[in-house]
Amino acid sequence: MGGAVKYLAVGFLAVALAAMAFWEAGVAAEGRLPVFDTHVHYSQEAWQPFSPGAILDKLTAAGVARALVSSTPDDGTLKLYRADRERIVPILRPYRDRADMDRWFRDRGVIDYVAGRLGRGVYRGIGEFHLLYESEARTPEIRRLIRMAVARDIVLHVHSGARPVRALFAIEPKLKVLWAHAGMAAPPGMIRRLLESYPLLWTEVSFRADDIAPDGRLDPAWRKLFLDHPDRFMVGTDTYVNARWDIYRGLVEEHRRWLAQLPRKVAKAIAHGNAVKLFGAGRGTGLGD
């Protein structure tokens, strides 16, 4: 009996190894899944340790074909954009400095600054910015920001809970919103309700890999959400501190691991396809092929 079990176990192992080899061959044939990173910052503290060239090398090493970039101050975004106008998609962060973060949504000077910078004509969105409370989304300054975004047909990249997002759409249903971190702590059910309520809402899942795939295995509720709404999700890394540039490739690979557990068509849409539809492919990036 023991010998039979032994041979059976060996047989199972051989089948498993053959299946793994087949899977690895398939991955090699398809190549590494390209990523459009929709949450990148190149803020002032990163400028000295990481030159624009060094940042672009990090994107290349991680297989990131395109990146949505904002910075505090905005000069960092423009440094990267000048270094590679096809790979970098600039969006305008309202924060002129860190002090703006606590008051920007009720500061006329900040909104005047945003209006002036938008005149450059290079920005594909405004954000990433923070709204902690529903009331912060209803100020006269935010209403003006919404009007500017709709007039230019650009996206607001919003770091908030569900209620500020609902407040923004209550002001202007035609607004396009990219919801940062899928609400940071919002469960799949809440994310589903918002996506089904607002057709011009997309969400990126930076900082959510541990929720999406605890212990490396794709959570069933998240999986169903991705399969039901494959055209509404994007990935991001959120390089808000230099330490995240140090581990940048690993942050991208975190996403690739759970994406590999989805059907290839869905994985490609989330990894880059949805972002390409919203922000374009860029020439020479390979995303438009």
Q: Which residues contact 128 (CB under 8 A, 6 or more apart)?
A: 39, 41, 70, 91, 93, 157, 158, 159, 180
Backbone angle region of 58, left / alpha / beta, with phi > 0 → left and psi within -120 to 50 → alpha: alpha
What pLDDT shows up at residue 289?
62
Weakly modelled stretches of the chain, pLDDT under 50: 1-29
What pLDDT score does 27 carry?
37
State residue 14's pLDDT score. Answer: 40
Q: What does the domain layout of the chain look like in residue ranges?
A: 1-31, 34-279
Q: What is the pLDDT of residue 31?
A: 77
Cα-Cα end-to-end distance for the chain: 57
Helices (H), 153-263: 162-171, 188-197, 209-212, 220-228, 242-246, 248-259
pTM: predicted TM-score of the whole model, two decimal places: 0.89
Class of domain 34-279: alpha beta
Neighbouring-strand partners of residue 157:
127, 178
